[in-house]
Amino acid sequence: MTAAATDRIRIALPENSMRYEQDLEWCLVDGKDGWREIRFHDYAELYTVTGLYERVFYEILQCSSPSTVRELLVGAMNRAGADISQLRVLDFGGGNGIMAEELVKAGVSSVVGVDILSEARDAALRDRPDVYQDYHVVDMAALTESEHAALARHRFTGMTSVAALGFGDAPPDAFRESFNLVEDGGWIAFTIKDSFLSDRDPSGFSGLIKSAISDGRLEVHASETYQHRIATTGEPLHYKAIIGTKKSDLPR
């Protein structure tokens, strides 16, 4: 094992010769009851320990997605002559608010978070209590009428989704519902692992996103393949960031 220590949290990662699929990567965390294994996609467990998510993904594994999306979105809106301070953003898969914090820094007027995990909302309110105007714990793929109405009242003019798509965490139907809550002409900014855009992708995202672009429902203003983070082996994991404007709803 290789280990990383902070004043409050001791973390051990697998030896970098051990290879895992991205959604099966893990770490050991030294807590009050001793060491325990946490899989990286067990987000509920990660969020319950203050600072653990940031320590693992941003300090150790060098995640760059939120800052990359912010820079691309700001650049695209500036080129289009759009005012970012007027955006009312739905942050889909908001987690503990790291992307929302970037949006607020950029001058966005309103950010509303949605996540399927109550632990995500609890962590956001604990760690970044001032970034969200509201935060809903809902399943975006199975919204009730009242949940949809509560979200629609915000009249979103933008949507972000960072490192939330694929791996079974957020299915295409959840992305579609979030996209459709944005007013026509609104800004869409999201990231997705490059393999989910390949012709061999079984998740449904490749077809959904490519058809949205080809049908003109999503007009792309910027796209970039970049290093999302490193794996526990130290190898780069590449994602694609896409920034665009919504022209019409995605069909169900």
In this prediction the pTM is 0.93
Res. 4 pLDDT band, cuts 50 70 90: very low
- Strand pairing class (218-230; 236-246): antiparallel
- Strand pairing class (218-230; 156-161): unpaired
Res. 8 pLDDT band, cuts 50 70 90: low
The answer to whether 166 and 196 are in contact (CB under 8 A) is yes
Dump pLDDT digits (tens) for 76-98: 999 999 999 999 999 999 999 99
> Residue type at 156?
F
The whole-angstrom separation of Cα 252 and Cα 250 is 7
DSSP 8-class letter at 155: -
Average pLDDT over residues 188-197: 94
Q: Which structural domains are found in the chain, ordered by start?
A: 2-60 (no CATH), 65-246 (3.40.50.150)
